[in-house]
Chain A
């Protein structure tokens, strides 16, 4: 072997070792983890250092929150409030924050979001699966209890009058999605997608830098109507198609109720998709805007500057705000639909 060759050979092993050690220091990995919680199927994927361990810690977070905030689970803080017989119940700081957020959103939407709708939802059977149409007398008895102002939050105690029941289901999943995203970011994850049964929360973009492609369900039939391309935001959709039943006469009743009437909200909207940096805001608004209807939703959007929305109307038309104009693409077979872009007045 010539001297030249020997010199090259001498350097080969240290260089290879260095490369291997550099690789070890980074620990970047792709991980996926799916599980059942929050009454839904949760899927997660992440890329980054120790991504697998980070996703396991998200599962622990989610199951912990379920124990705290489930309306049906005995021992949860929400269950304790609902069985308080009017007494003040001390709750954790996390629950205070969640209730505070729900009340703030209820005020902002003038009660279109209402965390006290639970007794009426139960009368319709949407909480039990035993669906039925309640009589007007039943609704008249329950509606006086449906008022978010019945919830008294003082420091760490919550008080509700007898007859009032709360359910934070319209904001909790979004809230937990935000917490999960924060936890992943704290763990150095820069690219992740969490899907809490349809509540989508994106951390950054895909590992190659391209946007996440999220299907928007067609509310009239199976499959998607189009695709949203997003980065580092949350997307939540609410629609009557999610949970509904049909009576003997063929009338369809869905689970999004108008807190004023106690009947399914018939606002002319078939589904609402909200895109915003915070999942909790998306979650709250997707329900509230559905109740408001297209005109009030548009007005509300003009008054706020922290979210974008995509409304699919009962007549099949689509209204989307200008921030989604580039991000949303209709599927090939849907291109004949009328699409209106709502813009800020200049």
Chain B
């Protein structure tokens, strides 16, 4: 009888842990989670809704991209690259396309969006 109760408690504990885990994952996969990726490696994962305004500098082969987080939005403020495309892209939007700096192999993207892709 005691053993049965122990098993029930263990199962309930596992169930509770599972529910908490699911809620945690669901919270992370919202549209506000962004990744700063360099050459395929995720350098930062940030929740824009909870991240304070700040500047993040990311360097690649001696060249730097200055990433700005301002009032829950993210953009490349300045870039040591010839084309400046990433700077001109402005703030990361829900368009489904990431901000990409080709020369510096930098990508800023939402971790999860409701779209599967986007044309440009």
A residues at B contact (CB < 8 Å)? 34-36, 39-41, 43, 129, 193, 195, 197-200, 206, 212-218, 222-224, 227, 235-237, 242, 273
Chain B residue nearest to A234 (CB atoms) is: B119
Say whether A198 contacts B90, CB under 8 Å: no
The answer to whether A223 and B117 touch (CB under 8 A), given A39-B102, A41-B100, is no
Residues of B close to A222: CB separation below 8 A: 90-91, 93, 95
Distance A34 CA – B42 CA, assembled complex (angstroms): 12
Residues of A close to B114: CB separation below 8 A: 213
Residues of A close to B120: CB separation below 8 A: 197-198, 217, 237, 242
**Contact flags (1/0) for B10-39 with A, using CB distance below 8 Å?**
000000000000000000000000000100
Residues of B close to A218: CB separation below 8 A: 95
B87-120, CB < 8 A from A: 90-91, 93-98, 100, 102, 105, 107, 114-120
Residues of B close to A200: CB separation below 8 A: 117-119
Distance A129 CA – B79 CA, assembled complex (angstroms): 15
The answer to whether A34 and B40 touch (CB under 8 A), given A212-B116, A215-B119, is yes
The verdict on B83 contacting chain A, using a C-beta distance below 8 Å, is yes
Majority-rule SS of A interface residues: strand
Say whether B95 contacts A217, CB under 8 Å: yes
Chain B interface size range: 20 to 34
A197-B120, A215-B96, A215-B97 given; name 7 further pairs at CB < 8 Å: A213-B115, A213-B117, A215-B115, A216-B118, A217-B95, A224-B95, A273-B119
Say whether B83 contacts A129, CB under 8 Å: yes
Residues of A close to B94: CB separation below 8 A: 215, 223-224
Say whether A236 contacts B116, CB under 8 Å: no
Say whether B119 contacts A227, CB under 8 Å: no
Residues of B close to A216: CB separation below 8 A: 118-119
Q: A198 contacts which of B82, B83, B84, B97 (Cβ < 8 Å)?
A: B97
B4 CB to closest chain A CB (Å) equals 19
Distance A326 CA – B108 CA, assembled complex (angstroms): 32
Say whether B95 contacts A215, CB under 8 Å: yes
Distance A41 CA – B40 CA, assembled complex (angstroms): 11
Residues of A close to B37: CB separation below 8 A: 34
Residues of A close to B102: CB separation below 8 A: 36, 39-41
Say whether B83 contacts A214, CB under 8 Å: no
Residues of B close to A237: CB separation below 8 A: 119-120
Chain B residue nearest to A224 (CB atoms) is: B95
Say whether A195 contacts B117, CB under 8 Å: yes
Distance A222 CA – B95 CA, assembled complex (angstroms): 7
Say whether B117 contacts A212, CB under 8 Å: yes
Say whether A36 contacts B105, CB under 8 Å: yes
Distance A222 CA – B119 CA, assembled complex (angstroms): 13
Which 4 pairs of residues, A with B, have the shortest CB-CB distance? A198-B120, A237-B119, A215-B118, A215-B96
Say whether A40 contacts B95, CB under 8 Å: no
A112 CB to closest chain B CB (Å) equals 20
Residues of B close to A227: CB separation below 8 A: 115
A302 CB to closest chain B CB (Å) equals 24
Say whether B40 contacts A223, CB under 8 Å: no
The answer to whether A198 and B95 touch (CB under 8 A), given A35-B40, A41-B102, A129-B82, is no
